[in-house]
Every structure is written in structure tokens, then in C-alpha cells.
Amino acid sequence: MTDHPFRFGAVAGQAADAEEWAGLARRVEGLGYSTLLVPDTLTTLSPFTAAAVAAPATTTLRVGTFVLSAALRTPEAVAWETATLHKLTGGRFELGLGAGRPDAERDAAALGLPFGTPSERIERVSRTIDAVTDVRVLVAASGTKLLKVAAAKASTVALGVPPHYSQAQLAAKLDELYELAGDRFHDLELSLNLVSAGAEPPSWLAARHGRTGISMLAGSPAEMADTLLRRRDKLGISYVSVNAQYLDHFAPVVERLAGT
């Protein structure tokens, strides 16, 4: 059982222009989501710039990265960008960090940057957290070494498990985090990203991972809300993000649960 109230994020990274992006931010806020989160890939908008444009278009919406790839920026560069956004958004910026997705090495190569070994990237995540101040830090983690960093230094831990994982498999990962975090565990906000919600998963995803799993939420709004309530009671997960293509499908769940 956790004392953390539910909050919800929308993950988006595409827009034709600033007007469309600002409009999306306002829609996310209007539907009751807490955060607009931007991926860190060369095929999406630049996350820091996108966050800077979204914030003044809204009043309460928090903006953040989901998640920065450790290989693409030095800790000092991230701290600089973060401090600027913290100031210019009135404290509404949240920093999400990770050691790098499977395809992040390609992005690093395209930018002429060394990708580094897993240990080097995890160390950079740790040093980045140490370099930033005054912001909420989310770490996306699944392996033991990065979970250890998250357990010691993060405000929020996003469980980076494959979409097809069962609840039992996720629970085992949380048991590991519990052992690593010790007394900090109950202070951690636990997060899970949904790859689909209230609608069929994309065909490419279903072909790769099937149509069921911990990150694929199905059913009516009442059924989805009940599922998330049970997960929070059993696993402690209170912060749920969803791809922006499911904004409207998931909005009735946000309306039922946000802040409770």
C-alpha cells in the first residue's frame, strides 16, 4: 500500500508547429493529466525545447523528459538546461533520465557521440542526478545496477519492463527495488508507462509482444480504473503515463482517479 495519490502523464513528441504543440499541451491539461512528457530521440521534438514551448501555453501542467538518454549530454549540460527550465516554467519541469534505449546507440552515432558501455552510462545517470538541483527526478530502470542508482537518488522510479510482462514479473522487479531502496522505498513514487489503454495496441506492438501484458490496459473506464486501483494497493504504482494517441481513451480513467 502506498500513500502516493494517483497522477497521470501523457507521452508525446510530434507536432507540425508551435501552435499545434501548444494546443496539445492545453488539451492534455484540460483532460486532467498532470504531466506532458517528451521522449529523447532524433525522430521526435527536442525534449527541452518542446517543454519550454508547452509550459507557457498552460497554467498547471508539468512538463518533463521521458527519458533523456545518458549518452547524449554531459551531466553539466543537463543541469544547465534543467535549471533554466525550472526557472522559466515556475518550477513545473520534471527531469526523466535513463541509460539509453536499445536504439539510442544509433542516435548517439548520428550525433557523433560515444555511446559508452552500460556501466559508463549508468554512472553518467548518477552524476547527472548529482548535478541537478530543485527538480523532481525520474529514473527509468530495470536492471539491478540502474535500479540501485534510482533507489538511492530518484524521486520517481519508472519500471522499464517489456510490455508483455505479467503482474507477477513486475512484482518481482519491485521486490528487487524494495531490497535496494531500504528505508527510502516508501518515499519513492512508482511509475509505469502504458503502451496502450482502452483500445487495441498497435499492430506492430501486438505482433512483437502479443495483446496482453502489464503495459497494455484494456476494458471500460471503470474496469481500467479498478485495475489501476488494485495495482496501487498490491504494487504501489501511482504514477501512470500513456502514449498521447490514447489521450481520449484514457481520459475517463484520469477523471476518476487523479489526485485520489
Establish if 233 belongs to a structural domain.
yes
- Per residue in 1-17, pLDDT (tens digit) is 688 999 999 999 999 99
How far is the C-alpha of 248 from the C-alpha of 197, rounded, in Å?
Answer: 10
- Sorted by sequence, the CB contacts under 8 Å of residue 64 that are 6+ apart come out as 9, 35, 36, 37, 38, 51, 93, 94, 95, 96, 138
Establish if 248 belongs to a structural domain.
yes
Residue 92 vs residues 37, 58, 222: alpha-carbon distances, Å: 12, 10, 30
Which CATH number does the domain housing residue 228 bear?
A: 3.20.20.30
- pLDDT at residue 200, as a whole number: 76
Q: Which of 234, 224, 235, 233 is nearest to 8 (CA)?
A: 224
Q: Report the predicted TM-score, pTM, of the whole model to 2 decimal places.
A: 0.95
Establish if 1 belongs to a structural domain.
no
Establish if 21 belongs to a structural domain.
yes
Share of the chain above pLDDT 90, in %: 90
Establish if 160 belongs to a structural domain.
yes
How far is the C-alpha of 118 from the C-alpha of 249, rounded, in Å?
Answer: 37
Length of the chain counted residue by residue: 260
Q: Say if residue 205's pLDDT is above 80.
A: no
Q: Domain count of the chain?
A: 1
Establish if 28 belongs to a structural domain.
yes
Establish if 214 belongs to a structural domain.
yes
- Per residue in 36-80, pLDDT (tens digit) is 999 999 999 999 999 999 999 999 999 999 999 999 999 999 999
Cα angle at 139 between 138 and 142, to 5 degrees? 145
Is the distance from CB of 96 to CB of 66 less than 8 angstroms? yes
The alpha-helical segments, DSSP class H, found in the chain are 18-30, 47-54, 75-88, 104-110, 118-131, 144-153, 167-181, 203-209, 221-235, 247-257
Q: How many CB atoms lie within 10 A of CB 166?
A: 12
- pLDDT at residue 1, as a whole number: 61
Establish if 2 belongs to a structural domain.
no
Tell me the residue range of the domain where 93 lies.
Answer: 7-257
Average model confidence (pLDDT) across the chain: 95
